[in-house]
């Protein structure tokens, strides 16, 4: 397995059915069924919104700091088995505060698991606070202000939830507050929305990374900007299949084109409990599709590390691991790993 950084995973999207059932029982939350197969069968979608409806519904079981700790620990343990060496994990605080769960409960539970990542799994990890588009710009600004007392628990701010109808321009104030605090900035754009959403994320929010970005390929000028400015795209192939935001066959996915175009693309899992897999499952599915060479899997791993917000020292350490893995496989060392700490 190539050592990688996971840069696009929503912690709420790692809620597997067995944990969902256990937390529902512990917190006396009534689910539509207590049969795991019935619950699992609901994990079938035809659009981003159809998925989000279930994703928000299931969050009702997360109530205590211990719940958030267990959710995050379960993810980190699974991620370590997927070859993840560094994780930047999204969380959606508004989806919890809206239900009456205090922000501190969410942040302290997640942070506790993250604080154990190094010792338990040899991984580094951090949190990125995501703002929910469907609640609008004012709510986003309020959320980021309310989160500032917890500033040391997260490294960046992101933007997620329903994309169409909620362009990045609505969130300029929230992102300006985040920028003034020295937070990293990322946003989902070009998942369902067109290239104009990606332009706005870059020009109006000043994002350093674009989450998904698939539809950027429809705009040659935008692609040139992404390439020249080395803006990473965090691509989620199994998510795209599940939400029908890409062709039905992985063999027809845009990822090889992104690499051929020299874009800084890497592979991630988005909501692995809902979309059929963690980082290793995404890689296995791409491998089965037969459209990438082993060298390209190495490039994807190196890209994920270069695109992360890890310290320069940590990036150098992880790129050295990629280099060693390439040498062990007898394939070309990815250029980013050759350059190592200079990236
Ligand atoms: N793929 C996705 N797109 C937008 N918002 C999300 N929230 C969780 N997963 C998401
Ligand atoms: Zn996402």
Residues 251-268: pLDDT tens digits? 999 999 999 999 999 999
CA quadruple 141, 147, 149, 150: dihedral sign: negative
Strand order in the sheet with 184-189: 4-10, 84-91, 124-132, 156-160, 184-189, 209-212, 233-235, 265-267
pLDDT mean over 69-74 = 98
pLDDT score at 342:
53
pLDDT mean over 324-340 = 92
pLDDT of 341 higher than 70: no
pLDDT mean over 278-293 = 98
pLDDT of 343 higher than 90: no
ipTM of the complex: 0.97
Measured from the CA of 13, which atom of ligand 1 is nearest?
8
Read off the pLDDT of residues 77-100 as tens digits, 9 standing for 90 and up. 999 999 999 999 999 999 999 999
pLDDT of 133 higher than 60: yes
Question: CA-to-CA distance for 45 and 29, rounded, in angstroms?
Answer: 24
Binding residues for substrate: 271
pLDDT class for 217, splitting at 50, 70, 90? very high
pLDDT class for 190, splitting at 50, 70, 90? very high
pLDDT score at 314:
98
**Angstrom distances, CA of residue 74 to CA of 13, 18, 70, 80:** 12, 11, 6, 10
pLDDT of 210 higher than 70: yes
Q: Are the beta carbons of 261 and 299 closer than 8 angstroms? A: no
pLDDT of 339 higher than 90: no
- The mean of the pLDDT values for the chain is 97
Length of the chain, in residues? 343
- Sketch the domain layout of the chain as residue ranges: 4-311
Instruction: Please tell me the distance between residue 330's alpha carbon and the centre of ligand 2 in angstroms.
Output: 34
For ligand 1, say whether the CB of 160 is within 6 Å of any of its atoms. Answer: yes
Q: Is the pTM of this model over 0.90?
A: yes
DSSP state, residue 46: S
Q: Could you name the CATH architecture of 4-311?
A: Alpha-Beta Barrel (3.20)
For ligand 1, say whether the CB of 161 is within 6 Å of any of its atoms. Answer: yes
pLDDT of 207 higher than 60: yes
Instruction: Please tell me the distance between residue 167's alpha carbon and the centre of ligand 1 in angstroms.
Output: 14
């Amino acid at each position: 397995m190539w050592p990688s950084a996971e840069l696009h995973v929503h912690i709420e999207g790692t809620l597997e059915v067995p944990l969902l059932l256990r937390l529902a029982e512990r917190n006396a939350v009534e689910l539509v069924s207590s049969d795991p197969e019935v619950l699992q069968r609901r994990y079938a979608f035809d659009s981003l919104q159809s998925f989000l409806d279930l994703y928000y519904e299931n969050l009702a079981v997360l109530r205590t700091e211990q719940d958030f700790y267990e959710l995050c620990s379960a993810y980190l343990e699974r991620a370590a088995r997927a070859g993840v060496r560094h994780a930047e994990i999204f969380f959606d605080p508004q989806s919890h505060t809206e239900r009456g769960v205090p922000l501190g409960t969410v942040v302290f539970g997640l942070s506790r698991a993250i604080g154990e990542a190094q010792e338990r799994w040899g991984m580094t990890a951090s949190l990125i606070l995501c703002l929910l588009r469907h609640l609008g710009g004012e709510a986003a600004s309020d959320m980021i202000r309310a989160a500032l007392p917890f500033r040391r628990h997260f490294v960046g701010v992101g933007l997620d939830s329903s994309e169409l109808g909620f362009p990045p321009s609505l969130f300029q104030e929230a992102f300006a507050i985040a920028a003034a605090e020295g937070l990293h900035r990322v946003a989902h754009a070009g998942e369902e929305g067109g290239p104009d959403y990606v332009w706005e994320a870059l020009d109006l929010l000043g994002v350093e990374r674009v989450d998904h970005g698939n539809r950027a390929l429809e705009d040659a000028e935008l692609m040139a900007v992404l390439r020249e400015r080395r803006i990473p795209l965090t691509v989620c192939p199994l998510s795209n299949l599940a939400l029908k935001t890409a062709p039905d066959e992985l063999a027809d996915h845009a990822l090889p084109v992104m690499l051929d175009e020299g874009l800084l693309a890497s592979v991630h899992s988005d909501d692995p409990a809902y979309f059929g897999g963690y980082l290793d499952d995404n890689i296995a599915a791409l491998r089965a599709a037969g459209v990438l060479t082993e060298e390209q899997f190495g490039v994807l791993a190196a890209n994920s590390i270069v695109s992360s917000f890890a310290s320069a020292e940590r990036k150098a350490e992880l790129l050295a691991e990629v280099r060693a893995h390439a040498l062990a496989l007898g394939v070309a060392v990815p250029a980013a790993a050759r350059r190592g700490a200079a990236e």
